[in-house]
Amino acid sequence: MPTSKSGLHVLVFPFPAQGHMLPVLDFTHQLAQHGFAITILVTPKNLPILNPLLSAHSSIQTLVFPFPHHPSIPCGAENVKDIGNHGTGPIIGALSKLNDQLIQWFKAHHSPPDVILSDFFLGWTQDMAHQIGIPRIAFYTSGAFITSVFYHLWQNIESLVSKNVVNFVDLPKSPSFIWDHLPSVFRRYRKSDPDWEIVKNGMIANMSSWGSIFNTFDALEEEYLQYLKKIMGHDRIFAVGPINLMGSPDRMGPCGSSTDTNQRVVKWLDGCPDRSVLYVCFGSQKSLSEAQMEALAAGLEQSGVRFIWVVMSTAQQMAQGCRFVLDGFEDRVSGKGIVIKGWAPQVSTLSHWAVGGILCHCGWNSVLEAMVAGVKILGWPMEAEQFVNARLLVDYLGAAFRICEGVDTVPDPIELACKISQSMRKDTIEMVRARELQDKALSTIKVGGSSKKNMDRLVKELAQLQGH
């Protein structure tokens, strides 16, 4: 591994949502291993998420700023999981108020960072980096296809707001999406709302960042990576994923360590046949409605397929006494299924030989983790960028199933059961393609692989930035 002798100091600024923080922290782990000096900026309530990283690297400094007050964010909420996906715009708006404080911090620092690496949701840092006079790197926690879609959407927003269908004629494969399937962060845009203007301007500013890092790999999204290189007009586009495959410090969920759950799950999985278990999880922030939970519970039970179901509930649902699952469900499925309430050790569970599939919302991290594990994806895209990810996986790559779609859809349990049992068969073409993708994902981070080469290239380019 080439080690940076440059002593380059990087300020890492993650966006406070679990699905954004985990890959940024995994990547920061890589940077630290390459010898870069790192300061990582968070607000107080997000500090515990850094614990595994800080334990692995005592040299990493933290910069903790109080979460700025925002009229539509409840007191104490500092992470998207605290308020749900609709809080993304306000959280971006609130964090942008750190601009002046950060500039002051830079001025007062005896050895300030040479470069800012921030999440693509924090595009406003592009202008701040410009004011300070240092380069900024945009970190994309999702792929190149969705970034190409975003580019087109934000550039043409005025002419698109009233469209039922948006055609992306300039993009490879010229996709079209109905309005409801466009990324929610775009659909929620409201002209003249200060938060949403910050979001829009930041997304556009991302395109002129010094460099861009993607949690994807060439063999998965080559044509969209090439498209972005053309748009951005340079070669500093680094596809270094799947990032968690490069090695990451232990992951900790928002509820703390999952050691006990892990042991229980592994013990149960050890007694299941090869590739027979379906892991069901809709990411770090999506809670299903009670009607959806009931339909899913019935569908899983009737499918006859073994399963592990991770059930997430919002603080609001808990306060309202929402039942986790149907009464008696856990007893009825005992031996056939496990319900985990809260946070599951997803990466290690997927890599168990007894797991053959994942039923998920097509969140990008889950998609990559499934790919690495070689399990098939049973997709239920709901919001955010998930419909775009599903298009890539199901329609372009033929490596996944679409078994339901829509954030409010309540599937018919019998139909769902049928789709689950058919998709979990071992002889499907989707399974073959999923295995091919797994091979590609595993080889991309090895010596000679594209993500490994891109990481080495990035390290070299970064080392040259010091003092510029």
**Nearer of residues 160 and 347 to ligand UDP, judged by Cβ:** 347
**Nearer of residues 214 and 364 to ligand UDP, judged by Cβ:** 364
**Nearer of residues 60 and 372 to ligand UDP, judged by Cβ:** 372
**Nearer of residues 20 and 152 to ligand UDP, judged by Cβ:** 20
Choosing from 27, 67, 154, 343, the residue that interacts with ligand UDP (CB under 6 A) is 343
Question: What is the separation of C-alpha 13 from the centre of its chain, rounded to a whole number of angstroms?
Answer: 15
**Which position has the token pair 């300020």?**
11
**Nearer of residues 113 and 283 to ligand UDP, judged by Cβ:** 283
In whole angstroms, how far apart are CA 312 and each of 18, 291, 340, 354?
A: 13, 14, 9, 23
Closest approach, Cβ 386 to ligand UDP, in A, equals 8
Residue 310 sits in the site that holds ligand UDP (CB under 6 A): yes
**Full DSSP string of 216-258:** S-HHHHHHHHHHHHHHHTSS-EEE---GGGG--PPP-BTTB--
**Nearer of residues 8 and 308 to ligand UDP, judged by Cβ:** 308
Question: Which residue stretch of 87-95, 358-366, 433-441, 453-461 sits at the interface with ligand UDP (rule: CB under 6 A)?
Answer: 358-366
What own/partner pairs with CB < 8 Å and gap ≥ 24 does 137-140 have?
137/209, 137/210, 137/211, 137/212, 137/213, 138/206, 138/209, 138/211, 138/212, 138/213, 139/23, 139/24, 139/27, 139/212, 139/213, 140/212, 140/213, 140/214, 140/215, 140/216
Number of residue whose CB is nearest ligand UDP: 19
Is the Cβ–Cβ distance between 361 and 283 less than 8 Å? Answer: yes
Question: What is the separation of C-alpha 47 from the centre of its chain, rounded to a whole number of angstroms?
Answer: 19
Residues in region 374-393 near ligand UDP by CB under 6 A = none
**Nearer of residues 42 and 362 to ligand UDP, judged by Cβ:** 362
- Amino acid identity, residue 333? V
Residue 43 sits in the site that holds ligand UDP (CB under 6 A): no
Closest approach, Cβ 46 to ligand UDP, in A, equals 15
The two tokens of residue 2 are: 């080439």
Choosing from 118, 126, 206, 366, the residue that interacts with ligand UDP (CB under 6 A) is 366
For residues 8 and 59, what is the distance between their CA atoms, to the nearest angstrom? 13
Closest approach, Cβ 22 to ligand UDP, in A, equals 5
Residue 365 sits in the site that holds ligand UDP (CB under 6 A): yes
Residue 346 sits in the site that holds ligand UDP (CB under 6 A): yes
Task: Give the x-and-dash track for 258-297 against ligand UDP (CB under 6 A).
Answer: -----------------------x-xxx------------
**Nearer of residues 4 and 85 to ligand UDP, judged by Cβ:** 85
Q: Which residues contact 196 (CB under 8 A, 6 or more apart)?
A: 89, 93, 188, 189, 190
Closest approach, Cβ 53 to ligand UDP, in A, equals 15
In whole angstroms, how far apart are CA 158 and each of 128, 198, 307, 453?
A: 26, 16, 45, 40
Residue 363 sits in the site that holds ligand UDP (CB under 6 A): yes
Closest approach, Cβ 120 to ligand UDP, in A, equals 13
| Rama region for 289: left / alpha / beta (φ>0; ψ in -120 to 50; rest) | beta
**Nearer of residues 210 and 387 to ligand UDP, judged by Cβ:** 387
Q: CA-based angle 406:407:408, to the nearest 5? A: 95
For residues 312 and 315, what is the distance between their CA atoms, to the nearest angstrom? 10
Residues in region 239-258 near ligand UDP by CB under 6 A = 251, 253
**Nearer of residues 251 and 391 to ligand UDP, judged by Cβ:** 251
Residues in region 11-40 near ligand UDP by CB under 6 A = 18-19, 22
**Nearer of residues 360 and 462 to ligand UDP, judged by Cβ:** 360
For residues 292 and 404, what is the distance between their CA atoms, to the nearest angstrom? 11
In whole angstroms, how far apart are CA 374 and each of 9, 25, 257, 432, 436?
A: 37, 24, 26, 9, 8
For residues 125 and 200, what is the distance between their CA atoms, to the nearest angstrom? 13
Residue 397 sits in the site that holds ligand UDP (CB under 6 A): no
Question: Which residue stretch of 1-9, 365-373, 415-423, 441-449 sits at the interface with ligand UDP (rule: CB under 6 A)?
Answer: 365-373
Closest approach, Cβ 244 to ligand UDP, in A, equals 7
Residue 183 sits in the site that holds ligand UDP (CB under 6 A): no
- Counted residue by residue, the chain has a size of 468
**Nearer of residues 114 and 119 to ligand UDP, judged by Cβ:** 119
> How many positions of this chain bind ligand UDP (CB under 6 A)?
19
Question: Which residue stretch of 48-56, 161-169, 363-371, 437-445 sits at the interface with ligand UDP (rule: CB under 6 A)?
Answer: 363-371
Q: Which residues contact 334 (CB under 8 A, 6 or more apart)?
A: none
For residues 297 and 323, what is the distance between their CA atoms, to the nearest angstrom? 13
Interacting residue ranges for ligand UDP, rule: CB under 6 A? 18-19, 22, 251, 253, 281, 283-285, 310, 343-344, 346-347, 363-366, 369
